[in-house]
Chain A
Amino acid sequence: MSKPDDDGSPEESGQMGPSLDDTGPVWIEPTASHPVVDGGPPGVYSPVRPGQRQPVIDVVDVWKTYRNGTLEVDALRGVSFTIDPGEYVAIMGPSGSGKSTLMHILGCLDIPTSGEFRLAGDDVSTMSEEELAHVRNKRIGFVFQQFNLLSSLSAWRNVELPLLYAGVERTARKRRALEALERVGLADRVDHRPGELSGGQQQRVAVARALVTDPDLILADEPTGNLDSVSARDVMDLLDELHRSGRTIVLITHDAEVAEAAGRAMRIRDGQITTPVTSGSGPA
C-alpha cells in the first residue's frame, strides 16, 4: 500500500480545492469521488468564482442519533454550516451539547445518521471505514485534549505516524517529521519521548503530527484543556500562527476565552447551532 508520493500533499492527490492565493478561476476535475459541486455536466470544467470557492466543510442538515437499548438520543439535530478554506472557527458549547459528536463527524471518526457532510467537496457520509481512514490520514490533522502521543515512541517517531500510514518512504518521513517539529519550535527535542516533555511541549508535538501530512483541516478538540495557562497561551499562539499561514482550523472548546482567538465562533446547544453561521472572518 505504499505510494511513491512522498509528500502526500492534497494537491498531488488531486482532491484539494483551490488554495488561498488563488483568485482566478480554478479547475476542478470531476471524478467519481469528487463530484462537481456546482452541478456542471460531467467532464466539463466549471470555473469557480472566488466568492464561491469550495468550502472545506459543508454540513447540510446533519442528524446523529445514538441508540442505547430502547432509548434513542439525538446528539445532533439538523446541523448545517460551511467553513471556507483558511477560516479559523471555534465551535463552543457546554458538555452534552453535541460538540463532541460534531467533532467526531467533522473528523470522519463517525458518520452522520442522516444529512450530508462534504469535506473539501467529497461526500464522506457514505464512505466505507477504509475510505474514511484514508480521508483522516490525508486531509485531517487532529489535536486532542489528551495529546494522545504514544509514550514508547520519540517525538519524531510520533510525528511520522500519519506518514507511515500514508505509505511515505522512510527518509522522506523523517525529513518531514523533523520539519514539522521545527515548525512548532521543538527542533531540539526530536528524540525525547513524551514522558520527557512538558505538557505544552507534548501538545506542540501533537500539533506537529497534525501538520505533517499538510491536511485540509486541523481539528483541535479542547487543545488547552489539559494545560496550564502559560502552555495554553503557547499552544494558542501556535494555532494562531498556523491560521495566519493559511491553515483551516476548527477549534472545539467550552472556554469562551479560548474561542476568542478564532475569527468566528459557533455556539452549539442541545444538538443545534444557536449562532448565525453566515458571518465569517474569512482568511486572516
Chain B
Amino acid sequence: MNLVETFRTGLDAVLSHRLRSSLTVLGIMIGISAVILTVGLGEGAQAQVGSEISALGANLLTVTPGSTTSTSGIRGGFGTASTLTVGDAAALASKVVAPDIGAVAPATSTTASLVAGTSNWTTTVVGTDPSWLTVRGRTMTEGRFIVSHDLATRAEVVVLGATTAQELFSFRDPVGQTVDIAGQPMLVIGVLNTVGSSSSSSTVANPDDQAIVPLTTAAALLTSGADRNSVSSILIQATSSSTLSAAYQEANAELLSLHGITTATDADFTITSEAQVLAADTAVDRTLTVLLGGIAAISLLVGGIGVMNIMLVSVTERIREIGLRKALGATPRVIRRQFLVEASVLGTVGGVLGALLGIIGAEVLPHLISDPITVSPVAAIGAIAVAILIGIIFGVYPASRAAKLPPIDALRSE
C-alpha cells in the first residue's frame, strides 16, 4: 500500500467522522492562531519601537540638569534650579569643541493653558530654537517653524502639534489664528506633522500634543522668575548613529569643563539616549511576548493532547475495523501509518485554518487594541509545520496501539 493510498484511507476516515474531526481541528486551530497572534504582537511591538527610534532619531541625546549618584541621591535642583543654560547649548553646537555633534537644541518646557476662541486646552509648551525641528526629526504639515529672527525679536508666535491644533481649532485652519498661552496672545505660524502615538517613556508624553514657541519668548513671557538663560533640557543630535558614543563623550567633557567640575561623578547634569529608554521599553514588551507566547504554546499543547485523545477514542471505536483490515492483510506497519496519516491530517487542517484565523485576527485586533500585530509569512508557515508535527507526535502512541491490536481480539469485539 503506497503513501497515496494510505493518505486517501486516512482522509476517508477523517471525513467520515466530521463532527469529531472538526472539534479536534478546532483545538489545534485555536492553539496555532494564538501562537501566530502573540508572535505577531511581539513582532509588531518591536517594529513599532524600531520606527519610534528612527522617528526620534536613534542618534539623539538628551541633557537634563541634575544627576543621581549612588552616594548622595539627587544632585542639583532637578529641573527647578536649572544648571543648564543657553550658553551650554551654544558651546556644544561648536564644531571645534564637538565635531561629532550635528545639531543642538536647547529647550524649556512648561505646562500651560491654551485658549482659542471658546476652545481651551492644556498642554506642554516648549520653548526652543530653530534646530529643534532637525534634532527631533520632525516636519511641518503647513506654515513654517520658528526661525532665528523670531528668537531675536522674541516674536509672539507658536507652532502647534497636530493633536493640539485639532483640539483648539477642530477642522479650521489654525495658521494665522491667535492662541492665548497663559494669557499672552500668540500667532499660530505652523502645524507639525504627526508622528503617531509614542510609547509613554518618550520625553514628551504625546509628541503630537505640544506647542512650540521661541526660547526667548518662553523665557520672557512664560517662565517668569527663573533665570532667562536657563533651559530645562538640551537635545543633541550626533552626526550619525555610529558617532553617538563619541558625541556623548564630547558633550560630557564639554559640559563638565563649562561647569568647572573636575570629577565626572560630581556632574550636575545627566545625558541620556532615547534609544536606551526605548530599549528598556522593548525589554518589557519582549517579556510580555514571552509570557503570552508561553500561554499560546500551552494551548497548542492542549490541542495536541486533544488530537491524541481523539485518536485513542478512534482506535477503541474502530477496533473492529482495524481487526478486519488486519485480517485482510494489513500489516502492523500499514495500520500504524494509516493512523499517523489521520493524526497529521487533523494537525495540518488545524494548522492551516489556525494560520488563517491568526492572519484575520492580525487584521481585526489592532482596531480593538492599540498595538500593531505583524504576521510574517515565516511565522505562518512555521506554525503550520508545528501543527503537522504535533499531529504526528501525538498520533504516534494511538497509532502504535492500533498496530499492536491482535486481529482476533479486534474482530471479536462487538
Contact = CB atoms under 8 A, between A and B. Distances in A.
A172 to B, nearest CB: 13
B118 interface: no
B324 A109 contact: no
A1 interface: yes
B331 A130 contact: yes
Nearest to B330: A165
Contact of B2 (A2, A133, A144, A213): A2
A164 B1 CA distance: 6
Given A109-B326, A109-B411, A129-B332, 4 more contacts: A150-B324, A152-B13, A162-B329, A165-B328
Contacts of A254: none
B320 A110 contact: no
A2 B5 CA distance: 10
Interface stretch (A134-142, A222-230, A240-248): A134-142
B324 A148 contact: yes
A130 B12 contact: no
A1 B408 contact: no
Nearest to B318: A150
B327 interface: yes
Given A109-B408, A152-B12, A153-B12, A167 B2 contact: yes
Contacts of B16: 152
Q: 9 shortest A-B CB distances, which residue pairs?
A: A137-B329, A165-B329, A152-B16, A133-B331, A162-B328, A148-B324, A109-B407, A109-B408, A165-B330
Contacts of B326: 109, 133, 136
Given A104-B408, A109-B411, A152-B16, A134 B331 contact: yes
Interface in A81-125: 104, 107, 109-110
A252 interface: no
Contacts of B228: none
Contacts, number: 67
A166 interface: yes
Contacts of A134: 329, 331
Given A148-B320, A167-B2, A133 B12 contact: no
20 contacts: A1-B2, A129-B332, A130-B333, A133-B330, A134-B329, A136-B328, A138-B329, A142-B327, A148-B320, A150-B321, A150-B324, A153-B12, A165-B1, A165-B329, A165-B330, A165-B331, A165-B334, A167-B1, A209-B328, A213-B329
B286 interface: no
A261 interface: no
A166 B5 CA distance: 12
Contact of B1 (A2, A129, A213): A2
Nearest to B4: A170
B325 interface: yes
Contacts of A152: 12-13, 16
B259 to A, nearest CB: 86
Contacts of A129: 331-332
Interface centre among A134, A150, A166 (most CB of B within 10 A): A150
Interface string B313-350: 00000001100111111111110000000000000000
A213 B328 CA distance: 10
Interface residues of B, number: 24
Contact of A110 (B12, B325, B331, B408): B408
Interface in B24-43: none
A153 to B, nearest CB: 7
A142 B334 CA distance: 19
Nearest to B17: A152
A213 B411 CA distance: 21
Interface residues of A, number: 27
A206 to B, nearest CB: 10
A142 B326 CA distance: 11
Contacts of B328: 136-137, 142, 161-162, 165, 209
Interface of A: 1-2, 104, 107, 109-110, 129-130, 133-134, 136-138, 142, 144, 148, 150, 152-153, 161-162, 164-167, 209, 213
Contacts of B5: 164
Contacts of B332: 129-130, 133
Contacts of A167: 1-2
B1 A109 contact: no
A15 to B, nearest CB: 14
A133 B408 contact: no
B2 A148 contact: no
Contacts of B330: 133, 137, 165
Contacts of A213: 329
B141 to A, nearest CB: 67
Contacts of A1: 1-2, 334
Given A109-B408, A148-B411, A133 B329 contact: yes
A198 B90 CA distance: 102
A136 B325 CA distance: 11
Nearest to A134: B329
Contacts of A209: 328
Nearest to A136: B329
Nearest to A157: B12
A129 to B, nearest CB: 6
A2 B329 CA distance: 13
A281 B321 CA distance: 36
A171 to B, nearest CB: 13
Contacts of B2: 1-2, 167
A14 B334 CA distance: 24
B237 to A, nearest CB: 72
Interface in B1-24: 1-2, 5, 9, 12-13, 16
Contacts of A110: 406, 408
Nearest to B331: A133
Contacts of A164: 1, 5, 9
A133 B411 CA distance: 15
Contacts of B407: 109
Contacts of B1: 1-2, 164-165, 167
A167 B2 CA distance: 7
A129 B335 CA distance: 13
